[in-house]
Each structure stands twice: as structure tokens, then as C-alpha cells.
Amino acid sequence: MENVYNLTAEDIAELGLESVDPSTIDCTELAEYRAKSRFINTQHDFDVSRVYLRDFIGEIFERPMNGEANFEPFEERMCDSYRKWADERNNGLPHDYSENQFTYNPIVFYKSPRSKKGSQKADGTDTTDRNTHKIILKKDWETDSWLEHRYFALTSPITYVGNRSTNKNARMLYAFAIDLDDVGPEQIQVLWNGFQRPLDHAPFTGLGLTLIPVPNLIVSSGHGLHLYYIMRTPMALYGHNVGLLQQLIALLYDLVFYPSKDGKGGTSRVEKLKCHGIYHSFRLPETRTKPLCKDMETKKTVGMGACIEAWKFNDRGFWTLSELAQYFIGNKRLSKIFSTKVLMELERGGRAHNPLRMTRAQALKKYGKLLAPGEKKKHWITDRSLYDGWLERLRNPAEGGVKYGHRFYCVLNLVACAMKCNVPYEEVKRDAMDLIPTLNALSPDASKEFTDADVVKALKSYGNEDLIRWRLEMISGMTGIELKRVKRNKRKLNVHLGVCRATRDVLCSERGEAWDAHNGRKHETVENSKNAAMILEWREEHPDSHNKSECARDLGLTRPTVRKWWNLLDEPGTNERASQEPAFTSFEDMKRWMAENLEPVRPQYQMELTSQEMKSALTNPDDPNYHKIYREVVKNE
């Protein structure tokens, strides 16, 4: 399909291009975006209908639940529960946080204009936007104009407690959202074929499954697509539940993602899957895609800036975990993890069974103590080579495996490595800022630049101890770089060596030879030693010198090595060292031998040693400075 698209008057008005010369606008990206929308609107395989912002939020968060006809997780402004909580706070009374006392709310994260007072940064540069978290209340949806046509507005299919959409505040998961990057007109046709193709081979025969699960909602967000699999009942995000749900969404990514070959076929043009977790937020319908910008090379306006569109599959009912579990019916490991009991607990909003759960007394007995309130978890400081190795990967993206689409998480992991290795913040900031030109060179076009704002956002996480506990699998998934653990056999040393030696004996027996059949390092003699040859050559060049120390310095050898071969060269045919120290019967004999055979070298070390240290070094051979004071006297024979 050719990406030929002519801007209409509606496009020019929608994108705000009235003052831009149409010949300077690159419509390639906009053409693909319009082609995807046209395909969904004109296909006849599924009953789909366009949904707008208010309906989109309602589809995800409103459904029959707990016997109510239409349950909504939206509080009324100044509702009774809030008034009760505020009254308790103002009067210093304890809060009742038991179940059903409060309603959890979705939260929208968006950018809004700054006031004039805060319109400049510390360095004097202007900035027009500030980050805003807004709780969605019922009154907010009487009109949704406050979000329409914003360039940056995100939400996740999760309800939260409090006014921040953090993982800690997350309470209920309403849907699994899948992000497919870089989907063109050809890829969306492959995706549609996957929605229709039956999965009829064993062990899926008769289950009525399709190759790719059909979503409830599909959103065209610009270059990619978002698929929403809405659950019949929301799931509570208890600690153990989160791990199970993260595995489920990773399974969904594997079912939906098929890489293309040379940009053709597949459900995405990216080479490697980038799996987001359950907490990830996505752009909302009726807000805008990434804004238009000027390409500095072509001098043309590129990008889209179009209004995001969403559709609903009218024939697809809400999903249940049991239906999703049918897709891994042949996987013994996942089937064991997601047992019927676990699925039932998750679907009813409870805590999934955790076989490792233990009482406080059991935990104290096993781990010694529990963290007191306010006490921080301890962690160890890793060798700095971890930080330097990851930094070197980012400096050489081609060799390190860094690719477009993972740049932010690569820098974020650099911050995590810095915390693990106790690298100062200023050094991390300097190194990360230096990476901007290198990482920006990976951008496919000017609308996808990697800027200092991305680095600043990653650096804000410095000090967050959650980064220290990132697992290797999580880092590998987010950065798109395959990382493997060091293989551990978990054997004792003697057992491990026994296995190695037994393997060695079997292989040597097969070859009919002994493992020690003179195939090790050869014994050096005067005839085959390189050092002996070097020393002999030096002596020939210096016939009047008998100074072994000077020979050692010139040849880059140690003095014991020179002394060994020097003496063997003087007495050919013997392998014994001629410089063995004599046996002494008393300390007086040793002092007498020292006086006859050694001379003090005081001038070089007089400035280093005190008088007491010098006296000790002259009289006590065990003193660590003894070797500094005496050297062997070479006597001319």
C-alpha cells in the first residue's frame, strides 16, 4: 500500500497548519495513520463501532458488579465518605480504612500550561507544560472537554487510592492493555487475520480459540495500536497477585506479537518484543498523537498530531481469567501456577493462594527479624564494573544491542546500576547527558528525538530503592537486551571437581591415553629457557658486569629469576640453585654472614625511615624494611 496522502482542508484545520506551506509537509506518517483507520472502519469481519472518550472510560471501568446494575468506580465530588474522612482528619480522629469505606478512582496523567509565575526554569529557559495528576470524579465526566485535543494525556486500566498513579497506590486492575509498536497498514491486516484464524490443533481442539485473542477495545495511537482485554470482574492488586498478573500480560504479549521480516508481514515492524507491565499508562482517545515537528535535515514538517481514535468490538464480551488460561493449557509450568483455585480467587477479587505465605512467627523463625516501621531494607554495594560495563554498552549501541524504543529504559537502568555500585549522582548525570547524541542517532526521524528531558526524567529515579531490586528478567525485558544469568550448578567444590575429573578420565580412556601423558608445561632447562637465553645474551653484551639487579632491570625480569639462570649458566649441567641461603645455628652467625656478604644501602631510604625504624631494619631480618636496607654484595672472583 503506497503512503500517498493529500492533506484536506479538515486536516489542515485540525493540525493547525494554516500558516505552513503544504509542499513542506511530509505526509508519510499521517498517510499510514489514516490508512489504518480506514481499514478498521471499512472491514466487514467484525462488528466494530467508534467510541469516544467518555464511552471509552465507561467501557473499561463501568460494568455490572456485586449485584448492582451499573457499578462505577468514580466518587462524587465532596461525597459522604470524603466528608467523613475530612472530619476525622480535622479532629485528629483515627480513620476507618476497612473495606467498602472508600471508592477507588482512575487517575489521568496529563500536561497542562504553567502559570506565569512558574513559566521559567532555574536556568532561565521557558517551559510551557507541567505534569498533572487528576482523579476522575463523576462530575468530571459531565463534560470531557478538559481532556480533548491535549497532546499528552495518559491513563491505565487501574483504579488507585490517593491522588497519584503510583504502583504503591494501585488497587484494582480492570483490563490488560497490550501495546503494539510500529504497526503499518500491512501489519494491521495480519493482526485481523489472527483474530479470525481458528486455533484448532491439539491441545486447543474444540475450545473455540483464535490464533490471536480478540480484544474488547482497539486504539490507534499513532504509529502503534493498543489492545484492551477487559476483565469481567476487576482483580485486586495484592503483592502476590501482581506477580501472577504480570506473567499473564507477558503471555498476552507473546500471543499478539509476531515480528515482521524486512518490514513486511507480522503484527509489528519492530524486531524484538517490548513487554509493558500491568501498570503501564496509554494515550486516551480524542487526545492527540505526538506533535508535529521540523526535520532539520529535510526541512519538512513531519509527524502526525492527529486525534487518537478508538473502536469497540461489539460481539466480544468481557474476558475471564479462565478463558485466558485456555491459551496455555499445554504449558505444564503455567498450568501449575494458575490452578483453578488461583484463578477463582483472582476473579472474585481476593488474594490468590500463595504456597510461600507464612505467619509472622514463621517469618521471624526463618528470617530472624522483620523490618520495623520506617526501617529501610538493606542491600549490598556491587563492584563498579557493573556500572562501567552498562555505560560502555550505551556508548556503543551497535555492539551493546541498544535499539530505538528502549533508550529511556536503558538510561533508567544506568541509574539503577549507579545506585547498586554507589556511584555519585553528579557522575551519573554527566555520563547520561553525554549519551544523548549517541542515543539520538538511533531515532528513525526528527519526531522521535531522544532529548535531555528523557534523561532528566530517568535521573529523577535516583534514590528510589526499588531500582536496586530490579531482577535480571525485568531489566532484559525493558531494555530489549538479552541478559543471561551466570550458570550455577549449586554443588560443593569437591563434588564439582569430582564430576570434572570423572569426565576427564572417561574422555581420555576413549582416546586411549592418560590425562597426564607429558602434555603439560615443559620443564625449563638452560638449553630451552627463553629467560636463560636473554640473560646469556645480556652477559655477552656486558662482559665486565656482574650486577644481577642491573640485568633484571634491563630485561624486565625479577631478580630471583635472573639469579637462578645466572648461577645455572655459571655451572652448566646442574638444576640446583647456587644461591641457596646457608643454614644458621644462631642469630650471631647470621649477623656475621650478613656483614660479610651484604652491604647496607642507606642513602636511598634515610628520608623514609625514622632512626628507630632504621635501627630495627639493620638488626632484625624479620623487619619488613630489611629488604630495603640490604642488598647482596657481588664479589669479583
- Identify the pLDDT of residue 139: 54
- Distance from chain centroid for Cα 579: 60
242 versus 336: the higher-pLDDT residue is 242
Residue 302: per-residue pLDDT: 52
How confident is the model at residue 136, as a pLDDT?
67
Choose between 213 and 306: higher pLDDT.
Answer: 213
pLDDT of residue 344: 74
Average pLDDT over residues 386-390: 93
Answer with the residue of higher pLDDT: 175 or 162.
Answer: 175
Least confident of 93-107, 213-227, 238-252, 465-479: 93-107
Q: What is the DSSP string of 117-182?
A: GG-B-TTS-B--EEEEEEE--GGGGG--TTTTT-S-EEE-SEEESSSS--TTTEEEEEEEEEEE-S
Over residues 272-319, the pLDDT tens digits come to 777 888 999 998 898 888 766 555 455 555 556 678 899 999 999 899
Amino acid at 551: C
Find, among 581, 631, 584, 582, the residue nearest to 605 by Cα.
631
Burial of 320 (0-12, 13-18, 19+ CB in 10 A): middle
**619 three-class SS:** helix
Query: What local confidence, expressed as pLDDT, does residue 64 receive?
Result: 58
DSSP state of 261: B
Smallest Cα–Cα separation from 343: which of 262, 456, 433, 233?
Answer: 233
Core vs surface per residue 78-97: b (16+ CB within 10 A) or e: eeeeeeebeeeeeeeeeeee
Q: What is the pLDDT of residues 121-161, one digit of tens each?
A: 433 334 455 666 666 665 555 555 667 767 778 889 998 88
250 DSSP 8-state letter? H
The Cα–Cα gap between 288 and 330 comes to 42
With cut-offs at 50, 70 and 90, classify the pLDDT of residue 182.
confident
In the chain, domain spans = 47-74+105-292+307-354, 368-514, 530-632
- Look at residue 393 in the predicted model and tell me its pLDDT: 93
Cross-strand pairs, 71: 63
Q: Coil, helix or strand for 320? A: coil
CB within 8 A of 75, min separation 6: which ones? 81, 82, 102, 103, 105, 135, 137, 138
Q: Name residues whose C-beta falls within 8 Å of residue 365's C-beta, 6 or more positions apart in sequence.
A: none
Determine the average pLDDT of the residues in 224-236: 90
> Average pLDDT in the 414-442 region?
93
Alpha helices in 471-524 (DSSP H): 472-479, 493-511
Q: Phi/psi at 435 (nearest 5 deg)?
A: -80, -10
Please state whether beta strands 63-65 and 309-313 pair in parallel, antiparallel, or not at all (unpaired): unpaired
Residue 49 pLDDT greater than 60, yes or no = yes
| DSSP type of residue 22 | G
Q: What is the pLDDT of residue 175?
A: 93
Which has the minimum average pLDDT: 262-266, 284-288, 561-565? 262-266
Region of 474 please: left (phi>0), alpha (psi -120 to 50) or beta.
alpha
More reliable by pLDDT, 178 or 337: 178
Measured distance CA(199)–CA(193) in Å, rounded: 12
Which residue did the predictor score with more confidence, 548 or 582?
548
Q: Given this model, what pLDDT does residue 596 score?
A: 65
Using one digit for the tens of pLDDT, what is the confidence trace for 106-119?
878 776 654 444 44
Long-range contacts of 428-436 (CB under 8 A, 24+ apart): 428/459, 428/462, 429/455, 429/459, 431/391, 432/458, 432/459, 435/394, 435/395, 435/411
Q: 176, 248 in Cβ contact below 8 A?
A: yes
**pLDDT confidence tier of residue 322, bands split at 50, 70 and 90:** confident
Percent of the chain, pLDDT > 90?
23
Q: Give how far Cα 378 sits from Cα of 370, 371, 469, 610, Å.
A: 12, 10, 11, 46
CA distances from 292 to 99, 114, 444 (A): 47, 21, 15
Beta-ladder partners of 312: 49, 217
pLDDT at 335 over 80: no
- Residue 445 in this model has a pLDDT that exceeds 80: no
H or E element, residue 389? helix 385-395
As a whole number, mean pLDDT of residues 468-488 equals 85
Instruction: Find out whether 565 and 529 touch, Cβ atoms under 8 Å.
Output: yes
Element (H, E) at 49: strand 48-51
The rounded mean pLDDT for the chain is 77
CA distance 125 to 553: 61
What band does 13 get if pLDDT is binned at 50, 70 and 90? low
Q: What is the mean pLDDT of residues 216-228?
A: 92
Predicted confidence at residue 424, as pLDDT, reads: 93
- DSSP code string of 321-370: HHHHHGGGTT-HHHHHHS-HHHHHHHHTTSPPP-TT---HHHHHHHHS--
DSSP state of 288: B
Q: What's the pLDDT tens digit per position in 183-202?
A: 888 899 999 999 999 888 77
Mean pLDDT of 549-575: 83
CA 57 to chain centre: 31
Q: Return the pLDDT at 599.
A: 56
CA gap 224, 32 in Å, rounded: 10
Which region among 131-145, 241-255, 374-388, 480-494 has the lowest average model confidence (pLDDT)?
131-145
- Using one digit for the tens of pLDDT, what is the confidence trace for 51-102? 988 888 888 887 655 444 455 565 555 566 666 666 776 777 776 655 555 6
- Please give the Cα distance from 476 to 473 (Å, whole number): 5
Residue 212 confidence (pLDDT): 92
Q: What distance in Å separates the CA atoms of residue 303 and residue 19, rounded to the nearest whole number? A: 17
The dihedral sign for the CA sequence 417, 423, 425, 430: negative
Helix%, strand%, coil% for the chain, nearest 5: 40, 15, 45
pLDDT of the residue at 449: 84
